[in-house]
Amino acid sequence: AEDSSRMKQMARKYCWWVHIDKEIEALAKTCQPCQKVKPNPPRQFQSWPSPQKPWERVHMDFAGPFWGSMWFVLVDSFSKYPFVVRMAQTTTEAVIQALKQ
């Protein structure tokens, strides 16, 4: 198993026996500390439901800095139309003002 590959490499530096890989894999599967620190499997992507009308769902983020400014980017999921506003500040109040435009 991939999770135990580093353990196997380290063990092989110091010793070797028949079925060393299988035994280390079995040990890693039952080792509680190993299970706690091992990375989670990658999550499956879930598609968003398709919007049925404009402004039903929007995506917002900041981009930058580009050309000395931060940019507020909003994309309407229905039309895929991007709205981009140059921002002097990235505060909540500044975002609210950009949304009102």
Q: Is residue 51 part of a domain?
A: no
pTM, 2 dp:
0.55
Is 2 a residue whose pLDDT tops 60?
A: no
Identity at 30, one-letter amino acid code: T
Q: Tell me which residue range forms the domain holding 6.
A: 2-37
Q: Please say whether the beta carbons of 73 and 61 come within 8 A.
A: yes
Q: Are residues 33 and 65 in the same domain?
A: no
Query: HSE on the CB side for 87, CA within 13 Å?
Result: 23
Is 5 a residue whose pLDDT tops 90?
A: no
What's the domain count of the chain?
Answer: 2
Structure confidence by residue, pLDDT tens digits, 51-97: 999 999 999 999 999 999 999 999 999 999 999 999 999 999 999 99
Q: Is residue 77 part of a domain?
A: yes
- Please give the structure tokens belonging to residue 87: 């921002």
Q: Please say whether the beta carbons of 95 and 72 come within 8 A.
A: yes
